[in-house]
Structure 1
Amino acid sequence: MNIKKIISFGVFLFGVMAFAQNVILSNVAKTHENTDKFLYKINPEITKGEYLGEILVNGFSNDDVAVFDAIYKKAKQIGANTFSWRKPDGLEDEAFNPNHYMLSLYYVAANDIPKEFNTIYLVASSNKDQKISINKDKLELKERHFIKKSFNVGEEITVSTRQFLGSGIKVTGKEEHPAQYFQISNFKVKENKSIYGGINIKTSDIIGLERSYGDFLTTIYTEQK
């Protein structure tokens, strides 16, 4: 191997290392037996759960489905059914860092997990801004951002992708109607075969998401006001 090839290989290897992502079960305090299929987000200051451990995500990836799949599998190894983002110690004002973050894992009895009603989350794609309208108000949803909209019983919200032959959804507030999550995308998404069965995939530009994956995306993405 000549010197040019060695340098090229070194640059390639550095690039792979620089952009590789690791999902590590970095701490296990205890395990809990359960058969729950979900992994919901909680606020541990409000919802008290049994602390089980920590997951460290180091490095960045745009493949959010694969990242969540890895997190889900490791969480289920110790019986977790809920999680929260843990801010770095001593840095309470620190913003979320998608290149390096920790998730605390808990077990919470299903009846004790809080529910959110008459709310929709509109989540952008991981790599492109999206033009949408909400009740005819036009806006641009930034990549890796989400919008949260709450509404009253009987109130109607219409969301459109503002594209020729694009998709639209209409949601009406009902008594105790659980929160819904939608991802806006301008490309087709292949069917997901993950064991957790959490993501409802469609070949459309508005994709309905199961709460577990929606909770994950609204943790690692930034809320757009």
Structure 2
Amino acid sequence: MNIKNITTFIFTFFCAFINAQNIYLSKVEKVNDNKDKFFIKINKDISAEYLGQIDVQGFSSDDEEVFSTIYKKAKEIGANAFAYQPFDTVDEIEQPFNPSNYRIKLFYITKEEFYKNSQQLYLFSSSEKPQTISINKKNYVLEPRSYLSLTTIRGDIYTISTKKLLGSTIKVSNTEGVPQYFQVSALKVSSNKSGDAGINLKSGDITGIDRSYGDFLRMIYNEIK
């Protein structure tokens, strides 16, 4: 191997090392033997049983794969809920979410907490490019890695369109009091990778995703105010 090839190899290896992502259970307080499939984001003021925590180091744009890994590790200790845990700082000022280095606390919650009524509708952008959408003829621009949250009225119909010549249009209505999650993307979205939670339906470039994956995206994406 000549010097040029050696230099190229070292550079490639260094870049791969820098961009590598490590996801691991950094603390296990206890293990719950529940078999719940859901894994939802909760507020810190909700009564929940603390089980442990996961640390994520390094960035990956493959959100499905990151979620799948976190989901599987959380299920190793029976967690069915999570909350973002900011790192401690000397000045005690909470730092903005860093997608390259963050910590998740893991919990067990009762099914009553999971089934609480919610009229929220969440729409997520793809991670690649801005997406223009229309909701009941009102236009919104979703920047990369952002989402829009709307409080719907039970029974009302909401028409969501991607405003493209061959784009998708769907009609949704919340009659059951459960949150709804959709991802808007011009890219092909792969099938469910986790086996238990993730993407569950697709209509053109508007993809319905389940609550577990949607709540994960709510944590790592920026909300449009």
Fold-level similarity (TM above 0.5): yes
Shifted more, 177-186 versus 198-207: the winner is 198-207
CA distance in 2, matches of 1:173, 1:211: 14
- Structure 1 residue ranges without an equivalent (≥5): none
Q: Who is 1:215 aligned against?
A: 215
| Alpha-carbon displacement from aligned partner over 1:19-76 (angstroms, at most 9, x marks no partner) | 111111111111111100111110122x111111110111111111110010001001
Shifted more, 101-110 versus 90-99: the winner is 90-99
CA distance in 2, matches of 1:218, 1:99: 16
| Alpha-carbon displacement from aligned partner over 1:151-200 (angstroms, at most 9, x marks no partner) | 223433221100112111222343x4211000001122232353214321
1:143-162 alignment to 2 at 5 Å? 143-162=144-163
Identity %: 47
| Alpha-carbon displacement from aligned partner over 1:105-134 (angstroms, at most 9, x marks no partner) | 011111133634222000011111111112
CA distance in 2, matches of 1:169, 1:116: 23
Query: Is the CA contact (8 Å cut-off) linking 2:168 and 2:203 kept in structure 1?
Result: no
CA distance in 1, matches of 2:52, 2:117: 26
Q: Who is 1:7 aligned against?
A: 7
CA distance in 2, matches of 1:218, 1:65: 13
AA matched with 2:65: A
Q: Who is 2:83 aligned against?
A: 84
1:96-175 alignment to 2 at 5 Å? 96-113=97-114, 115-174=116-175
Shifted more, 209-218 versus 107-116: the winner is 107-116
1:1-80 alignment to 2 at 5 Å? 1-45=1-45, 47-80=46-79
Change (3 A) 1:209 1:61: same
CA distance in 1, matches of 2:49, 2:126: 33
Change (3 A) 1:202 1:153: closer
Q: Who is 1:202 aligned against?
A: 202
Shifted more, 105-114 versus 59-68: the winner is 105-114
How far 1:92 moved relative to its partner? 4.2
The aligned length equals: 223
Query: Is the CA contact (8 Å cut-off) linking 1:191 and 1:202 kept in structure 2?
Result: no
CA distance in 1, matches of 2:67, 2:116: 21
Query: Is the CA contact (8 Å cut-off) linking 2:41 and 2:82 kept in structure 1?
Result: yes
AA matched with 1:20: A
TM-score if structure 1 supplies the norm length?
0.93
CA distance in 1, matches of 2:4, 2:117: 58
Shifted more, 103-112 versus 198-207: the winner is 198-207
TM-score if structure 2 supplies the norm length?
0.93
RMSD: 1.6
- Structure 2 residue ranges without an equivalent (≥5): none
